[in-house]
Structure 1
Amino acid sequence: MSEQRMSNYTIKPMTRADLAVAIDWAAAEGWNPGLQDADCFYAADASGFLMGWLEEEPIAAISVVKYGSTFGFLGFYIVRPEFRGRGYGWQLWQAGLATLEGRTVGLDGVVDQQSNYLKSGFQLAYRNIRYEGQRGTAIAPADPAVVSIASLDFAQVLAYDRPFFPDDRTAFLQGWLAQPDSTAVAYVQDQAILGYGMLRPCRQGYKIGPLFADTPAIADTLFQHFIAHVPAGQPFYLDVPEVNEAAVALAQRYGLTSMFETARMYLPEPPQLPTERIFGVTTFELG
């Protein structure tokens, strides 16, 4: 994307260092990014991050990451608080969407922006609820069906993941599932993957995501495995599609507390995804 000049306001692609700044902004907004998110996100699509500059000062960010040839996900839509209400975010929004023209676009919108997204043509698919829990002292027994992702053929993992996402996300998953200090496992029976997910360290505590499973029982087994790897006393978080009643029941069964919600929205219309098997969203920022 070429630089766009609007008086003394400039929009241009982020460098990797710029993305680190945007992630700090996300942390200040309370989004609690993962410790390794910047590297994983940038590897997914280095051209998919734009920053707005006022003179030489970065003031706004957006991510418009492209997957395959048909899908894009919009996130990191942040204007620094002291620069809000002046149109800088809207100009960045328009520039970002222009890079995704012709694709289906997804986003997880904060509540106070949902009406604006609707005006831009996005349709509400469902709500995602962030739940918080805290690791107790009880540890579930190990299940031999739960194996490390690293022990599997990565092509098999990609094949299992494919129905859960609107287009190919190989580059993203290669980095995402190999993060340092993370726990990435699958549930395997008769050499077939029936569920998988990951736990990663964040600025505060740990996040589980994704958590995909063919049955609620398999999701429960994977969930127990993840919380067993959370240090005692540390919080953990699970982002649940509200339309999956079994996922909501899982969070409630373990006493997790609802923190906030987002609206999963799509332009021009929602893709058909197996939400009944999505027990945890991968990430609000990249889908």
Structure 2
Amino acid sequence: MKDTLKIRPMNRPEVALAIKWAAIEGWNPGIYDADSYYQTDPQGFLLGELNGEPIGCISAVAYDEHFGFIGFYIVQPEYRGRGFGIQLWQAAMDYLGTNRNIGLDGVIAQQDNYKKSGFHIAYKHIRYQKTGGGIIPPDIVLLDTVPFEELVAYDRQFFPAQRRKFLQNWLHLPNSAACGILNDGHLTGYGVIRRSQSGYRIGPLFADNEEIAEKILQALLTKGINSSVFIDIPDINPQALALVQRHKMQPGFEAARMYTKGAPDLPMNRIFGVTSLEVG
């Protein structure tokens, strides 16, 4: 008799299981990411169970009616090759529907499979790392001092959908720091660093120019003193590449940002670090 996979939405505690599995895969998720992810779309985290045992998961976060993002696509190793992954994948795609532009960050081994499902490579994210430390530059302000609605509006320039729900939690994670720079009272860049399974991860890092991005990067690096600090940068932003190279950050993990309906019209020259490979 063929094994039947039961697929259902996760509850909040079960999202921690997806993060645990992602850590085992070597993706280095943030320790406290679960609340931010789950609150963005509580119906968008799917668990696959076989005879009552969790064996796989996938996230399909619907930001609005126009954009969604897939992540946490994991089947436990002993259950791979039995068709359970494609069942999870289809459930996620069905949830997001055909009207949304859907994004994901695909590891090299899976990119051909994603292409078969209608995804197209827009560019690559390359993970860079170095040991944190240094001194906070002048002009840096804590994001708590910036009106939240201004921050939401600034963030919207760099993402295909408005992220109010996500940011409400993301900016206040335990063991994290969020800072930016103002010009004439208006936000010109911001970044967040958070504790991850190994070291710290920066994301996002958005800025109006490379000079602003560098100051914010320097400030964030001080949070991860004597720890490894990671940032995922889009390889089509030459200023971002120059920035990490100037700071002698070392490249490592790579993934391709892919979309079903083409790359959104975003100012890639001002995106110096993606928020998260799990939710965009």
- Give the TM-score normalised by structure 2: 0.97
Give the distance between the partners of 2:125 and 2:132, measured in 1 at CA: 22
CA distance in 1, matches of 2:66, 2:96: 9
4+ residue runs of structure 1 moved beyond 3 angstroms? none
Identity, % of aligned positions:
48
Which of 33, 46, 52 lines up with 1:50 in the alignment?
46
Whole-angstrom distance in 2 between the partners of 1:129 and 1:271: 19
Q: Check whether the contact 2:137–2:218 (CA below 8 A) recurs between aligned residues.
A: no
2:135 is aligned to: 140
Structure 1 equivalent of residue 118 of structure 2: 121
Post-superposition CA distance 1:227-251 (Å, at most 9, x none)? 12212x2100010000001101111
Distance 1:83 1:7, change over 3 A: closer
Whether 1:103 aligns to 2:96 is no
Number of residue pairs matched?
278
Q: Match for residue 75 of structure 2?
A: 79
Task: Quote how far apart the aligned CAs of 1:166 are.
Answer: 0.6
Once the 2 structures are TM-superposed, how far is the Cα of residue 158 of structure 1 from its aligned partner? 0.6
Q: 1:15 is aligned with what amino acid?
A: N
Q: Which residue of 1 aligns with 2:27?
A: 31
Determine if the alignment matches structure 1 residue 156 to structure 2 residue 153: no
How many Å separate the matches in 2 of 1:63 and 1:141?
Answer: 36
In 1: Cα distance, 2:263 partner to 2:51 partner = 38
Partner of 1:17: 13
Q: Kindly report which structure 2 residues correspond to 1:180-219, keeping only aligned pairs within 5 A, or say none.
A: 180-219=174-213
Q: Distance in 2 between matches of 1:108 and 1:8?
A: 28
| Contact map agreement 1:68 1:169 (CA 8 A) in 2 | no
Cα pair distance change 1:66/1:141, threshold 3 Å: closer
- Name structure 2 gaps, 5 residues minimum: none
Residue 249 (structure 2) aligns with: 256
> Could you tell me the TM-score, scaled by structure 1's length?
0.95
Distance 1:91 1:193, change over 3 A: same
2:264 counterpart of 1:267: no
| Aligned-partner Cα distance in 1 for 2:206–2:254 | 20
Report the Cα offset of residue 270 of structure 1: 1.6
Aligned residue runs from structure 1 range 222-241, under 5 A:
222-231=216-225, 233-241=226-234
